[in-house]
Amino acid sequence: MATPTVLITGASSGIGATYAERFARRGHDLVLVARDRTRMEALATRLRQENGVTVDILQADLTEPGDLTAIETRLRDDHLIGVLVNNAGAGLAGSFENQAINDMERLVALNTTAVVRLASAVAARFVEAGEGAIINIGSVVGLVPEFGQTVYGATKAFVLFLSQGLSLELAPKGVYVQAVLPAATRTEIWERAGADINALPPMMDVGELVDAALVGFDRREAVTIPPLPDAGQWDTYQSARQAMLPGFAQVHAAARYRPAA
């Protein structure tokens, strides 16, 4: 697949729209997926004019089963699509006890269920072809429960684990899976979550974030954390986690948990 088509979710603004711009500059045809058709049409028109690429638009709300099924069908049937960017996501303002359960359910559906289903829709085809790439946009919040964004952070921890597991399963079969973990990035997600963006601390520019993520993509990194200065810290974290694995295989409780005689 010389220059595969790239399907990008959440493509009407922010990280998704920037991925569309960057991949179009590289000569990739695009399939843009989002709820806002007007914005996608404006973006598609510009990218066609500037880069001479084909851009299809699929209006969809990935929390709606029918819309999600339609995108899955396109991913399964369109053999030109060789890269999936699972970018669509949302945040949720407020503390856990004050968040409405319907809002939490919708957040989980968008940030986790849609990611799994779309990855599943392409995995078998990519494996059969022996090539393809899945980019899952997570967040450093998934590593930091101290930030207090409990449900959002849990969904992003899920995305990281899913990506790492898929990488272990699919990489030997020719399929590249990348987890991208941004920190705070200046996009509309903050306003949609009810936050006052002007009251928040400085954030990374979305263009810088995506450019860094694509450096990791070109290097075929399994996990890319654009704001992390010291890659060795991530390596140390991984080594500490892996060092615990033999302990998980014990058939008796650790001595520290045994009742006193």
Among 113, 88, 76, 111, smallest CA distance to 33 is for 88
Report the catalytic residues.
152
Helix-helix angle 14-25:206-219, to 10 degrees: 50
Q: Give the number of other CB atoms < 10 A from CB of residue 185.
A: 21
Q: Cα angle vertex 113, ends 195, 58, to 5°?
A: 80
225 touches 140 (CB < 8 A): yes
Phi-psi domain of 174 (left: phi exceeds 0; alpha: psi -120 through 50; beta: other): left
Would you call 33 helix, strand, or coil by DSSP? strand
Round the CA-based radius of gyration of the chain to a whole number and report it. Answer: 19
